[in-house]
Amino acid sequence: MTGNIYPDLVRVSYTNLQVVGNNICFHVKGVDMELTQEVWTAITGLKDVGPRINRGNIGVVDEFNKMQFYKSCLKDPHSRVRNFSIGGLKLNERLIGFIVTWMLTPRESNHSTLTREDLVFIYCIMKKTKINWINAFKEHILKSMRLCDYHYPYAILTTKFLHYFEVDL
């Protein structure tokens, strides 16, 4: 174990991850941790408000049109769209895109191609629409467990959960 992040314990947390009801549960070093809304709020300061944005529920943002929004973010809105790449975006949109793909919903590879979900996050951030980040993080944690090309996201957050539940580090 090194520094303030404990990679081995983060790996054990994800290995022992279970979903009970609407909560994510870990079991580490004999300590059962259930991540309820109260725990998420205590650790992150986030509240369980705003639309729940995930792959199957993107329609909660009624006025969102993927192609129209992407073209409005391009440096040259008249250019032909081959894929939804971050490279052609205006500066602010590009920075938000990288924050979404590298930090908020990190993935193992291809951070430069935006998914529909990424575009909805960028849209909501730019329009200052509240997002249910707790749900987004939970969905992303569960996605990382289903897909083999994802690494364990949120190592610092997971370490904070370990501290909160007073796991012997």
Q: Rounded to an integer, what is the distance from CA 59 to the centroid of its chain? A: 18
Low-confidence ranges of the chain (pLDDT < 70): 1-3, 54-62, 148-150
According to the model, what pLDDT value does residue 73 have? Answer: 92
According to the model, what pLDDT value does residue 5 have? Answer: 80
According to the model, what pLDDT value does residue 149 have? Answer: 60
According to the model, what pLDDT value does residue 1 have? Answer: 35
Nearest to 119 by CA among 157, 151, 144, 83: 83
Nearest to 94 by CA among 69, 110, 75, 117: 75
Instruction: Give the separation between CA 136 and CA 147, rounded to whole angstroms.
Output: 16
According to the model, what pLDDT value does residue 63 have? Answer: 75
According to the model, what pLDDT value does residue 39 have? Answer: 93
Instruction: Give the separation between CA 163 and CA 28, rounded to whole angstroms.
Output: 11
